[in-house]
């Protein structure tokens, strides 16, 4: 195979995967939470110990927490 073929194939593979990821990511975000699960909340004992900023609950929890501190 010529050199450019490798480059084209690798870029194609990564692009396909990236597009799949982005589409699934956006779809996941857009799908509404099923009925009866709206009240699923992070465990308050758990969240302070965990500082993963990519967690879905991170912002929500830490926003509430900082509000509590301000009081």
Partner 1 sequence: MSATNVVTAFILAVFSYMLINNVVLTRFYGICPYLGVSTKVKSSVGMGVAVVFVICLAALVCYPIYHFVLIPAGLGFLDTIVYILVIASLVQLVGLFIKKYSPSLYKSLGIYLPLITTNCAVLGVVQENNALDFGMSMANALGTSLGFLVMIVLFSTIRERLNAYDAPKNWKGLPIALITAAIMAMAIMGLTGMIA
Partner 2 sequence: MATNTIARSQHKENFLNPIWKANPLFILLLGTCPALGVTTTVENAIGMGILFTFVLVGSSVLVSLLRKIIPEEIETPAFILIIATFVTIVKMLSEAFLPELYSGLGVFISLLVVNCIVLGRAEAFAKKNGVLDSLLDALGNGVGYLLAITSIALIREILGTGTITFGAVFTFLPKIVLPILKFDGVDLSIPLFAKPAGAFIVFGVIEAIIGVFTLRKAEKEAAAKREAILAAQKAKAAALAAEKAKTAEAAGKEDK
Residues between 8 and 67 with contacts to partner 2, criterion CB under 8 A: 14, 18, 21-22, 25-26, 29, 49, 51-54
d(CA 54, CA 15): 23
What is the smallest separation between the CB atom of 26 and partner 2, expressed in angstroms?
6
Neighbours of 22 (CB within 10 A): 10
Is 42 exposed, middle or buried, given 0-12, 13-18 or 19+ CB atoms closer than 10 A? middle
Which residue number, 39 or 53, has a Cβ lying nearer to partner 2?
A: 53
* Interaction partner, residue 69 (partner 1, partner 2, none; CB < 5-8 Å by kind): none
């Amino acid at each position: 195979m010529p050199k450019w073929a490798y480059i084209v194939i690798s870029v194609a593979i990564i692009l396909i995967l990236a597009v799949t990821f982005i589409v699934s990511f956006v779809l996941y975000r857009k799908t509404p939470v099923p009925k009866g699960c709206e009240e699923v909340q992070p465990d308050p004992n758990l969240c302070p110990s965990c500082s993963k900023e990519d967690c879905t609950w991170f912002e929500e929890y830490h926003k509430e927490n900082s509000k509590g501190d301000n009081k």
